[in-house]
Structure 1
Amino acid sequence: MSNRTWAEWHAEHERTLADPHGFLAITSLNFLDATPRRFPDAPGEWSTGPDGVVVDLAQGESLTVDGAEVTGRHSFGVLPERGGVFPAFGDAVIEVAKRGGFDIIRPRHPSNELRLRFRGVPAYEPAEKWQLTGRYVPFDEPRDVTVGAAVEGLEHVYESPGRVEFEALGTPLALTVFNGRTPGSFFALFTDETSGVTTYAANRSLAIDAPAADGTVTLDFNQATNLVCAYTDFATCPLPPAENRLPVAVEAGEKIPYERQP
């Protein structure tokens, strides 16, 4: 990837973070239970149960769901893990989702101070030495891997089809990978010797394109990104599996966000 292409990729990533209803717009993280509760940054009383998430809207309150205005009692049904919907009110939306087996709501307000103060993401200058070639080694059968989360007491389960073996700074290394957003692609959660020093302590993520026919993959650590827990305390991000703690300093990709620096 040329410096120009990297700069365009990085700028697009920053634009996504700064979206009016992106993660920087989240104003609270609320775990729902059977007791209806009202939150200061969202209309209605919210609860969940065997039939899924329900909101009871008082007189004068409404939400827009799939383009239609709803009032009174509305059921969102049972949501799939890592799925969610985004009903709107005014210039804000409410993320209604399931994370780690728990139903949550996260209101997202464009006027949130964290979003308004956002000034981009610091990163290492791209370097060719961090564009590495690796080899994908599939497991005999995909494995469910349980990992921790940025929220204490929460766990995530991801299916892992295999691992990627590679070498960096003369050290043989490997990463357990999870299925990516496009068919055949992967992503890896990892930490390394820069974590907590120049890069975010808890995790970074690396997207990996589908392997070639011979199993060859490219790992471009220049595109290692922060997860959203690097910016906001209202995130439920997964942590890397223990074996993905790399014993080398990956001086590439995104650094500790300005918002988390002293």
Structure 2
Amino acid sequence: MTVQTGQDIDRTGFVQAWEEWHRQKEEVLSGPHGFLAITSLRWLSPEPARFDDAPGAWSTTDEGIVVDLAPDEELTVDGTVVRGRHVFGVIAERASVYAGAGDALIEVAKRGGHDIVRPRHPGNALRTAFTRTPTYAPDPRWVLEGRFVADAEPRPVTVGAAVEGLEHVYDSPGRVEFELDGETYRLTVFNGKTPGALSVLFTDATSGVTTYAANRSLQLGPPDADGRVTIDFNRAANLPCAYTDLATCPLPPTENRLPVAVKAGERIPLERGGAA
């Protein structure tokens, strides 16, 4: 793996690659069933409950999540139309399954040990009114070389969540160290979305000023054989909770609160009063 820093980057290609990354991220966020389409966050209990934005009566049982559909109601699960009583089963932590209901998708999931239902409707006003996310202009200065330092064994790290009282537990394989303006900083990392990749949750001195107060995330590629990794703060991204209160996003561990201003990446969304 070649680790690039701001000193050896072709600016034109760099900006084009960043623009494509941001375009793809915005497409996912604002897609017909993206996070902006969520209309409610329902916490299930053993007592069946009906919701005005999803068919059926939903409950959590020893069998897992169950929905009881009225005679005139149906869902589509894995391409099959289901009616009556349907058992989704026990869903793993941070996993989601989806059921179709007309043009909507009903997300059935577990977060922080709790079974939830989150309907996603393409016509939700938050989605239809969305235009774009403000950002800092991409700047090669914010592409840094870091060093991954692995722990002897992965350690569980408990962090808070955007929802008060909720906690998430992630395994951390180690930390990433980097230098900025002559100072060394260290960030606890979690496993990324692909084998060997790493994920970082952090805040910095811009948080709550020009960037979202609670968190931003950064995806890192796998370290090379010497532990070197590229840290591109231009791709510091908002999590869904930056746009909607119907997300259960994790908060950064305490040690990931950087005392410096990272003036790169995504800024406070317009939906939260951010500046255009």
Letter in 2 for 1:168: L
Q: CA RMSD in A?
A: 0.8
SS at match of 1:61: coil
2:21 maps to: 9
Counterpart pick for 1:35 among 35, 39, 47? 47
TM-score, normalised on structure 2? 0.94
Letter in 1 for 2:66: V
- 1:108-123 equivalence runs, <5 A: 108-123=120-135
CA-CA distance at 1:170 after TM superposition: 2.3
Describe the superposition over 1:79-136 as per-residue Cα deviations: whole angstroms up to 9, x where unpaired: 0001111000110010000000000000000000000011111100011110000100
CA-CA distance at 1:167 after TM superposition: 1.0
1:86 maps to: 98
- Cα distance in 1 for partners of 2:157, 2:124 equals 35
CA-CA distance at 1:168 after TM superposition: 1.5
SS at match of 1:5: helix
Using the TM superposition, name which of 161-170 and 58-67 deviates more: 161-170
5+ residue gaps, structure 1: none
Q: Percent identity?
A: 65
CA contact (8 A) 1:97 1:103 kept: yes
Letter in 2 for 1:19: G
TM-score, normalised on structure 1? 0.99
Counterpart pick for 2:33 among 21, 26, 32? 21
1:138 maps to: 150
SS at match of 1:43: strand
CA-CA distance at 1:173 after TM superposition: 0.3
CA contact (8 A) 1:26 1:108 kept: yes
Q: Give the aligned length.
A: 262
- Cα distance in 1 for partners of 2:154, 2:48 equals 39
Describe the superposition over 1:2-57 as per-residue Cα deviations: whole angstroms up to 9, x where unpaired: 11111111111111111100000000000001000000100000000221000000
SS at match of 1:3: helix
1:246 maps to: 258
- Cα distance in 2 for partners of 1:49, 1:63 equals 19
- 1:222-233 equivalence runs, <5 A: 222-233=234-245
- Cα distance in 1 for partners of 2:140, 2:182 equals 15
- Cα distance in 2 for partners of 1:221, 1:141 equals 27
5+ residue gaps, structure 2: 1-12
SS at match of 2:55: coil
Q: Which runs of 4+ in 1 moved over 3 A?
A: none
SS at match of 1:110: coil
- Cα distance in 1 for partners of 2:245, 2:164 equals 11
Describe the superposition over 1:204-226 as per-residue Cα deviations: whole angstroms up to 9, x where unpaired: 00000000000000000000000
Counterpart pick for 1:127 among 135, 139, 156? 139
SS at match of 2:266: coil
Is 1:237–2:249 an aligned residue pair? Answer: yes
